[in-house]
Amino acid sequence: MAPLWIVNDLFVAPEYRNKKIGTQLLKFAQVFAIETNSKGISLETENTNNVGNQLYPKMDFKKDKEHNFYFWNKPNFSS
């Protein structure tokens, strides 16, 4: 067993896109994972997220093809 970091909701505001900010954020997370001696970083994105689905492999993230991810929506949840 080892710590595993999870990146939730990586989002760059439209006015700051195309400035490599997403890449910088992920590099910072990777350095943090190394410094904290964790196993790695987990993240999830929608199939329609073309930007993320192109960026993550460039940053050495590997797509998990061995597991199914399921989600249960709590009834009457309001965000």
**Treating both helix axes as pointing N-terminal to C-terminal, what angle do 50-58 and 21-35 enclose, rounded to 10 degrees?**
50
| Percent share of the chain, pLDDT over 90 | 80
Q: Quote the DSSP letter at residue 43.
A: E
pLDDT tens per residue, range 33-67 = 999 999 999 999 999 999 999 999 999 999 999 98
Domain at 37, CATH number? 3.40.630.30
Helix (H) or strand (E) holding 5: strand 4-7
Query: Residue 73 sits in which domain range?
Result: 1-79
Contact, 6 vs 43, CB < 8 A? yes
User: How many distinct structural domains can be found in the chain?
Assistant: 1
